[in-house]
């Protein structure tokens, strides 16, 4: 853990800035849902664990939580475009109001695939809440209702975001130094 700081060239979001962003997302979501909706938060493992944990506790709403594990990256820095279900929902989402919780949208491939997959199951609604969005994703035709922040096209890690399964435990979000993956 001592070498982690040397692997980060720039901190993009401090712990405090992340908390503010999450609170802002929560206020928007609370305005759109009521306790009667009994919204189902679907966290996308593994990157979304931190966002899910903090967003769920910030939301003053009745909610359920479930998880899906999909992967499109493997151990590289580029999206492969191949989305695999590694773990499906345990919940029947027929008639449910579903809110997908993601850490980051890069190419948008994961979410566009997940959106159509969940919508085909007969949910009452399926919306997306992503903490971060990269420039490529803006071009993709997916309707992301809640976005915490748009970020530059750098490889970012921390707060759930990994490079080769490392750095997820950083409290802040930063840019990974090129020497790490060069
Ligand atoms: C990352 C990230 C998003 C997805 C975004 O997950 O957490 O889920 O990639 O990329 P896209 O918009 O180009 O599809 P990853 O596949 O690395 O799995 P992980 O969450 O377990 O790290
Ligand atoms: Mn992910
Ligand atoms: Mg990853």
131 lines ligand 1 (CB under 6 A): no
Q: Would you give per-residue pLDDT tens digits along the chain (182 residues)?
A: 557 778 999 999 999 999 999 999 999 999 999 988 889 999 999 999 999 999 999 999 999 999 999 877 555 566 556 788 999 999 999 999 999 999 999 989 889 999 999 999 999 999 999 999 998 876 667 889 999 999 999 999 999 999 999 999 999 999 999 999 88
Residue reference for tokens 């929902």: 89
110 lines ligand 1 (CB under 6 A): yes
CA-closest residue to ligand 1 atom 14: 110
43 lines ligand 1 (CB under 6 A): no
CA-closest residue to ligand 1 atom 20: 47
Size of the chain, expressed as the number of residues it contains: 182
Residue 179 lies in a domain: no
pTM of this structure:
0.93
Give the separation between CA 16 and CA 71, rounded to whole angstroms: 29
User: In whole angstroms, what separates CA 182 from the centre of its chain?
Assistant: 26
Residue 101 lies in a domain: yes
Residue 133 lies in a domain: yes
C-alpha distances in angstroms, 127 versus 42, 146, 151, 163? 10, 8, 21, 27
Annotated active-site residue 36? The verdict is no
Other C-beta atoms lying within 10 Å of the C-beta of residue 145: 16
The pLDDT of residue 1 is 52
Residue 139 lies in a domain: yes
Q: Which of 7, 103, 106, 162 is catalytic?
A: 106
The residue range of the domain holding 51 is 17-152
Give the separation between CA 61 and CA 34, rounded to whole angstroms: 7
Residue 168 lies in a domain: no
Q: In what order do the strands lie in the sheet with 156-157?
A: 8-13, 173-176, 156-157
Residue 166 lies in a domain: no
Looking at the 3D structure of the chain, how many domains does it have?
1
Interface confidence (ipTM) of the complex: 0.98
The pLDDT of residue 180 is 93
**Domain holding 32: CATH number?**
3.40.50.2020
The pLDDT of residue 176 is 96
């Amino acid at each position: 853990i001592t070498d982690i700081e040397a692997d980060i060239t720039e901190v993009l979001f401090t712990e405090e800035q992340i908390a503010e962003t999450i609170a802002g997302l929560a206020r928007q979501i609370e305005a759109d849902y009521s306790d009667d909706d009994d919204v189902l938060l679907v966290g996308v493992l593994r990157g979304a664990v931190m966002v899910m944990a903090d967003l769920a506790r910030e939301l003053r709403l009745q909610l359920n939580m479930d998880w899906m594990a999909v992967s499109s990256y493997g151990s590289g820095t580029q999206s492969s475009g191949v989305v695999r279900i590694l773990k499906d929902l345990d919940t029947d989402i027929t008639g449910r109001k579903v809110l997908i919780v993601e850490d980051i949208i890069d190419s948008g491939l994961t979410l566009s695939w997940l959106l159509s997959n969940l919508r085909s199951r007969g949910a009452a609604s399926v919306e997306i809440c992503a903490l971060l969005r990269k420039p490529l994703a803006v071009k993709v035709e997916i309707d992301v209702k809640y976005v915490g922040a748009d970020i530059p096209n750098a490889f970012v890690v921390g707060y759930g975001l990994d490079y080769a399964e490392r750095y997820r435990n950083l409290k802040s979000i930063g840019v990974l130094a090129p020497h790490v993956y060069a």
